[in-house]
Amino acid sequence: MIIDEKKIYQRMAGLDLFRVVAAVMVLLFHIHIYHDCSFGALTGFVSMGAIFMTGFFMLSGFVLFRTYQEQSLVQMDSLKKIENELRAMGQIVSGYLDFAERKAERREPMTMADWSKHLDMILTAGGEKLLRGNGSVSHEQAVNKATDEYRKYQQKTLSSVEQAFLDSIKAIEKKSLKK
């Protein structure tokens, strides 16, 4: 089967458009709930913000999956692990969003601390281990580790043309430093 790259891009652009619409609807939903704004005939539509939030996350996950699915570094076993993790996360997010929808329907205000506490309860009820405290890795160490890992990843995924281009840039930099 021949895949037209332009059609794939257009499909992703279309999904991005739906993501933007969903994000705007979530924003309007929060304005409706927290500022008691009415949107006239559209108020019923705007009040379905939890559905749009779910749609936004589902579309975002799909776009990310399609983006990284094409990369040669991803192998089937690691793809299966990622799929299992995404499924588990989707189940957690679904329960969390159901809770959020109930709170919104009852017009019960929630602070960030309340949301955090509820998420911890969902995770522990499902047997997940919670991270406690600030951890032992500094911000600088985390950035350095991420940079190192990304460089390793880049070296594995660059095409020969990209590598030749980067090598030529390094050669030019060396020449300019010698002058």
Q: Are residues 141 and 127 in the same domain?
A: no
Q: What angle do CA 104, 106, 107 make, to 5 degrees?
A: 60
- CB-CB contact of 57 with 22 (8 Å): no
pLDDT of residue 69: 64
Give the model's confidence band at 127: pLDDT under 50 very low, under 70 low, under 90 confident, else very high. Answer: confident
Q: What is the pLDDT of residues 17-57, one digit of tens each?
A: 888 888 888 888 888 888 888 888 888 888 888 888 888 88
Task: Tell me the percentage of the chain whose pLDDT exceeds 70.
Answer: 84
Domain holding 164, by residue range, is: 137-179
Collapse the DSSP code of 78 into the 3-class scheme (helix H, G, I; strand E, B; otherwise coil) and give the result: helix
Domain total for the chain? Answer: 2
| Comparison of pLDDT for 1 and 102, the residue scoring more | 102
Let me know whether 144 and 83 are in one domain: no
Per-residue pLDDT band for 1 (boundaries 50, 70, 90) equals: very low
Burial label for 31, CB within 10 Å (0-12, 13-18, 19+), is: middle
**Confidence (pLDDT) at 70:** 60
- The pLDDT value recorded for residue 77 is 66
Same domain, 99 and 169: no
41 and 104 belong to one structural domain: yes
- Look at residue 153 in the predicted model and tell me its pLDDT: 77
Q: Are residues 126 and 144 in the same domain?
A: no
Q: Are residues 114 and 179 in the same domain?
A: no
The predicted-structure confidence for 54-77, as pLDDT tens digits, reads as follows 888 888 888 777 766 665 554 566
